[in-house]
Amino acid sequence: MAGYVIKRVLMLIPMLLIVIFIVSFIMSLTPSDPGTLILGERATPEAISRLNKELGYNDPFIVRYAKYVWNAAHGDLGNSWKTGNPVIREIVRRFPTTVTLAVGAILIGLTIGMPIGILSAVKQYSALDVMGTSCAMVLASFPGFWIGMMLIILFSLKLGWLPSFGVGSLKHFILPWFTTSCIFIASMLRMTRTSMLEAVRMDYIRTARAKGQREFVVITRHALRNALLPVVTILGMEFGALLGGTVTIETVFSLPGVGSLIIEAIRMKDIPVVVGATVTLATCFTMLMLFVDILYAFIDPRIKARYLAL
């Protein structure tokens, strides 16, 4: 197990190098320069050129890339070209908002999507199954920003129950949580239903029923545990995607998260912030998938035996 974890962590290094290279290269192709964006178009060419030189923007791309990688290896993601603050400070300041949004959406998706998916599989072709799958298709078909705006109109403008923007309290996260969780509920419901349908048709389920086991025990102890592997995979991937993919929701509800930080940095061509935030999200996603792989061992003993052999 330890050898597998070490190999996965070492694989993180080339992945991050590739991420840094791609993001930095794309940002270098965008028009304008940081000197013009920071000082404005009315600044003199001498002042713009001097600032670009101070920021190292006039160096060749490979030189800038090598310097960034070297500094990042020593824990320095650079300073923001817009504010002058360390990039790490900007990310740390906004990261809790993104994590709160992602965790809340995941919990809502699990609480609603997984039980309905289990019941849909157990009661296949029943009215509950038809209603559940139909709701999943409806939720998956609507874009998140549209759902968010409809919730704002209903619960903020019409009823006045919930705030529509900001992060003053947990009440400010209720609408973003439900907006973000809608698509996740649909995917979790479908995946749980599919996995459970395969599990309940296995021979060991028939054997457990033949031995007189209660149906609740058969479903929860035997079928559900063996159906969890694909569900856990989707859970880890969705959580990692939510950490970096909540840009639209953060924009609709004016949440100061990492996604909105990246958008603002792209507009200002603040390359250190864009690269630093992207690398941070890529690292979080990779570590989440590593955690999911390790979690497999606690769900399936066969996978644990394979890990122990490494």
Whether the per-residue pLDDT at 309 is higher than 80: the answer is: no
- Model pLDDT, residue 121: 80
Least confident of 32-41, 51-60, 97-106, 191-200: 32-41
Q: What pLDDT digit, counting tens, does each position of 4-41 carry?
A: 667 777 777 888 888 888 888 887 777 767 777 777 77
Please, are residues 98 and 246 in contact by the beta-carbon 8 Å criterion?
Answer: yes
Q: What pLDDT digit, counting tens, does each position of 238-288 carry?
A: 777 777 667 777 777 878 888 888 888 887 778 888 888 888 888 888 888
Whether the per-residue pLDDT at 81 is higher than 60: the answer is: yes
Structural domain spans, the chain: 2-73, 94-308
Average per-residue pLDDT for the chain: 79
Q: What pLDDT digit, counting tens, does each position of 31-68 carry?
A: 767 777 777 777 788 887 888 887 777 778 888 888 88
- Model pLDDT, residue 302: 62
Least confident of 51-65, 85-99, 227-241: 227-241
Q: For residues 180 and 142, what is the distance between their CA atoms, to the nearest angstrom?
A: 12
Assign 304 a pLDDT band (cuts: 50, 70, 90).
Answer: low
Q: What is the mean pLDDT of residues 102-127?
A: 83
CB environment 290-300: b (16+ within 10 A), e (fewer): bebbbbbbeee
CB environment 73-106: b (16+ within 10 A), e (fewer): eeeebbbbbbeeebbeebbeebbebbbbbbebbb
At the topology level of CATH, where does 94-308 sit? MetI-like fold (1.10.3720)
**How many Cβ atoms are within 10 Å of 138's Cβ, its own excluded?**
11
- Model pLDDT, residue 4: 64
165 φ, ψ (degrees, to nearest 5): -155, 165
- Model pLDDT, residue 111: 85
Residue 136 in tokens: 């999943």
